[in-house]
Amino acid sequence: MSLRRLFRTPEAVAGFAILGCLVLMVLLAPVLFPRDPLSIAGAPLLRPFQDWALPLGTDRLGRDVLAGLFHGARTSLAVGLAAAAASILVGSVIGTVAGFAGGLVDEALMRITDAFQTVPGFLLSLALVSVVGPSLGVVVVAISLSAWTGPARIARAEVLSIRERDYVASARVIGMHPIEIAFREILPNALPPVLALSSVIVAAAILTEAALSFLGLGDPNRVTWGGMIAEGRAVLRSAPFLSIIPGIALVLAVLGVYLAGEGIVESAATRRGNA
């Protein structure tokens, strides 16, 4: 996929522009704001642009809103990427095993997938974090548990269509082990449709992490956008910027991930149509 073809789509241009800003925030956060973002930086409830040393003001405890915004981007991106990677890895393995093995193995794995799909993803994440305790790792695992079913079903469908092709039959004839055939010959060819779900999973993971943090179930040692929105809820009338600023950042991040994913899918579809 050429960059020229990719950036012909307005969705990709907008999405990657937003993602570029998000990545810059992540990289520059420890440089521009080396202090602990949870430390007190000034007088409480300073309004934006009232003090140019604290351009976006401070919260109820006097913490720098701009520093929290930059460090919160690190948490959101880390959770989104880690949850997407774990979900795609688990889903691809389960879908490949189910589609290649067939029979009782396929039936059992698909019923387990159905069981996970019957529970709303956010409720599953909420229950796990409530029981185990809030931390970044637990949040990633909780989100992944509710997101792997989509990749699993797509991987299974792709494997079912690939496993009878000639090159797979040739691999059986020459004596390759079934596991080697499944994960070396079939899975790489089944991955592209699965990877197309990445943007959706990342966006959903960012929103879920923010919702958990808003409810007080995020990592207490990290600044999160959801936690910043919850912090501003108590003074919403007198200082609405405390919730509005991280809320806008959250919307833009999710929109950027989604638009970038749409741009990649549209560019890939255009390439296949021209082939």
Q: Is residue 183 part of a domain?
A: yes
Q: What is the pLDDT of residues 83-119, one digit of tens each?
A: 999 999 999 999 999 999 888 999 999 999 999 988 8
275 pLDDT higher than 60: no
Q: What is the pLDDT of residues 17-60, one digit of tens each?
A: 999 999 999 999 999 999 999 899 889 999 999 888 899 999 99
Give how far the C-alpha of residue 141 lies from the chain's centroid of Cα atoms, to the nearest Å.
12
Q: Which residue segment(s) compose the domain that 202 sits in?
A: 78-233
Q: Is residue 64 part of a domain?
A: no
Whether residue 231 contacts residue 60, with contact meaning beta carbons closer than 8 Å, is answered with: yes
Residue 58's DSSP bridge partners are 64
Residue 86 DSSP SS3: helix
Q: Is residue 8 part of a domain?
A: no
Structural domains counted in the chain: 1
Other beta carbons within 10 angstroms of residue 272's beta carbon come to 8
Burial call 126-135: b when 16+ CB within 10 Å, e when fewer: bebbeeeebe
Q: Is residue 33 part of a domain?
A: no
> Model's pTM, two decimal places?
0.88
Q: Is residue 108 part of a domain?
A: yes
Using only C-alpha atoms, the chain has a radius of gyration, in whole angstroms, of 22
> Which residue from 253, 153, 152, 154 is spatially nearest to 209, judged by alpha carbons?
253
CATH number at residue 99: 1.10.3720.10
Q: What is the pLDDT of residues 166-222, one digit of tens each?
A: 888 888 888 888 888 888 889 888 888 888 888 889 999 999 999 999 998 888 888
Q: Is residue 9 part of a domain?
A: no
Whether residue 42 contacts residue 54, with contact meaning beta carbons closer than 8 Å, is answered with: yes
Residue type at 79 in one-letter notation: V
In DSSP notation, 194-256 reads HHTTHHHHHHHHHHHHHHHHHTT-S-TTS--HHHHHHHHHTTTTT-THHHHHHHHHHHHHHHH
Q: Is residue 16 part of a domain?
A: no
Q: Is residue 72 part of a domain?
A: no
Cα(203)–Cα(87) distance, rounded to whole angstroms?
13
